[in-house]
Amino acid sequence: MTSSRKGVVLVACAPSGAGKTTLLARLRAEFPTLRYSVSCTTRAPRNGERDGVDYHFLDRDEFIRRREAGYFAEWAEVHGNLYGTPLQAVRDNLDAGNDVLFDIDVQGAAQLRRNLGLGLYVFILPPSLAVLEARLRGRASDADEAVAKRLKNAPGEIARAAEFDCWVVNDDLDTAYDQFRAAYLAETLKPACRPGLLDEILVQRG
């Protein structure tokens, strides 16, 4: 069958330490055609992060200039840093039939839903705040001040999980991944992804 396919938007949000990065990396490894939406940010690169691959790293003035020009589908300030999703790159991928994965915060997800009007929005939860704190303190990449800020913000972020389509509790990694994967695959089966399929099938009768 040759009917054109529309790409889907998959949005994943979580408080820091919930294991979102691990789940997203695993999904991308299994589905290499899943495009990652590379966000712009004003924060400094972490060890191993590459400009244009993990993020587009901008200074604050350049980020604000692009924001004022309507460059972003969504933007937010998180933990003192600015983050934003380039709009045209998203549209180009969807029109080409590519699925696009977003790793953004709850503020950005709300804007993206308003601006795009489509997508599957998944919130990844820790099994408890105590586990979340242990994971954050076990990471060597963040200073104590940054950990304290993330722990302070986590309850407010989790409270907004009610705005999302699906919840995945990341207690056991394999179980959480199976649920996350299933949610993505179910989204790709929706009729909106294959708008011409029924006509193509019906025209073949006889």
Q: What is the pLDDT of residues 104-119, one digit of tens each?
A: 889 889 988 988 888 9
d(CA 104, CA 112): 10
Contacts of 114 (CB under 8 A, 6+ apart): none
Average pLDDT over residues 51-68: 94
The answer to whether 22 and 103 are in contact (CB under 8 A) is no
Tens digits of residue pLDDT in 136-173? 887 766 677 888 888 888 999 999 999 999 999 999 99
Q: Element (H or E) spanning 168, and its range?
A: strand 166-169
- Extract the runs of DSSP E, i.e. beta strands, from 63-165: 72-78, 81-86, 100-103, 120-125
pLDDT at residue number 89: 87
The answer to whether 74 and 111 are in contact (CB under 8 A) is yes
CATH of domain 9-37+98-203: 3.40.50.300
**pTM to 2 decimals?**
0.82
Question: Looking at the predicted structure, is the pLDDT value of residue 62 above 70?
Answer: yes
User: What are the residue boundaries of the structural domains of the chain, listed by start?
Assistant: 9-37+98-203
The answer to whether 129 and 18 are in contact (CB under 8 A) is no
Q: Which long-range contacts (CB under 8 A, 24 or more apart) does 45-48 make?
A: 46/141, 47/141
Summary mean pLDDT of the chain: 90
The answer to whether 36 and 128 are in contact (CB under 8 A) is no
